[in-house]
Amino acid sequence: GGPPLEIRVTTDEANNTLTVSDTGIGMTREELVSNLGTIARSGSKAFVQEMQMQAEAGDGAGAGGDSSGVIGRFGVGFYSGFMVADKVDVRSRSAGKAAEDEGTQHEALVWESTGTGRYTISPLPEEVRQERGTSVVLHLRPDLSEYSNEATVEAVLKKYSNFVGFPIYLNGNRVNTVDAIWLDDPKSVDQEKHNAFYKYVSSMYDDPLSTIHFRADAPLDIKALFYIPSFHQEKYGMGRMDPGVSLYS
């Protein structure tokens, strides 16, 4: 039971907040401490240490000691919230067995910090609703109030999160409505789908002159989709075209 797996983004200009919620498994008090307590105890440091151990144990061909892969993992992305917020609240209700073992399966918690190295964890007031999952509330800095504006956030989501695998709702409205067809088997995507997808990502009205769609799984797992436009607007004095290659992990 429970709500479907999805991401919900809510803007509140009156209170200058931006809230990002999911309907996942949530976190217990222990998990809030271990995952959000400090960067030293976060999964990010453990991830880097594990890669270093693998590199030392092997010939370095696998992990290679390269820590660039830490970006976007564990606590690194979360702590970037303090770049735009004076205060961050993390509200969570766990759905896992760990919560049952602690006898707090019905208790929602709130982790609060101003990014100064200290935090508090307390029961979430009953009047504040929190379903199974986690909500991150950013109390935005006054000079960054633009991110409490729905139109601004919608533009950011469509540019950077349009092909996230889970539904994203902004103030109740679905944002990511186009499937990432480059993940599909090239043989299963016909030219009509390619034409429609090309027009969506390029904001053009022509059909692509040529389409390159391939997948490879060795030595790297790569899924590539490349379109060559049939219309060259620079040729007709309509201004310089911006590069159109995007990378998704």
Contact assessment for residue 64 and residue 55, using Cβ atoms and an 8 Å cutoff: yes
- pLDDT at position 61, please? 44
pLDDT in 10s for each residue of the chain, 249 residues: 678 999 999 999 999 999 999 999 999 999 888 888 755 454 555 656 666 776 677 654 444 444 444 444 445 578 888 999 999 999 999 987 544 555 555 589 999 999 888 899 999 998 998 989 999 999 999 999 999 999 999 999 988 888 888 899 999 999 988 888 888 899 999 999 999 998 888 878 889 999 999 888 888 888 899 988 887 766 666 666 666 677 665
| pLDDT the model gives residue 63 | 44
The HSE-up count of residue 114 (CA atoms within 13 Å, CB side) is 3
Give the number of other CB atoms < 10 A from CB of residue 185: 8
Answer yes or no: are the C-beta atoms of 18 and 153 closer than 8 Å: yes
**131 with 3: CB under 8 angstroms?**
yes
Say what the pLDDT of residue 170 is. Answer: 97
What are the beta bridge partners of residue 20?
Answer: 9, 136
Instruction: Give the number of other CB atoms < 10 A from CB of residue 181.
Output: 17
Give dist(CA 135, CA 19) in Å, integer: 7
Tell me what pLDDT residue 99 has.
Answer: 47
